Amino acid sequence: PRDDDEAARLYRRAAEQGDAFGQSCLGICYAEGKGVRQDDAEAARHYRLAAKQGYAKAQSNYGEFCERGMGDLPQDLGEAARYYRLAAGQGFAQSQYHLGKILPGEAGGCGQGATCRARRGRSIPRAGGA
CB 74 within 8 A of CB 68: no
pLDDT per position as a tens digit, 45-73: 999 999 999 999 999 999 999 999 999 99
Span of 11-25, 30-44, 98-112 with lowest mean pLDDT:
98-112
Q: How many CB atoms lie within 10 A of CB 71?
A: 21
Q: Give one word for 33, left, alpha or beta, with left for phi > 0 and alpha for psi -120 to 50.
A: left
For residues 98 and 96, give the distance between their C-alpha atoms in angstroms, rounded to a whole number: 6
CB 58 within 8 A of CB 51: yes
Integer distance in angstroms from the first to the last C-alpha of the chain? 32
pTM to 2 decimal places: 0.80
Model confidence at 18: pLDDT above 70:
yes
CB 31 within 8 A of CB 59: no
For residues 95 and 110, give the distance between their C-alpha atoms in angstroms, rounded to a whole number: 14
CB 5 within 8 A of CB 35: yes
Model confidence at 108: pLDDT above 50:
no
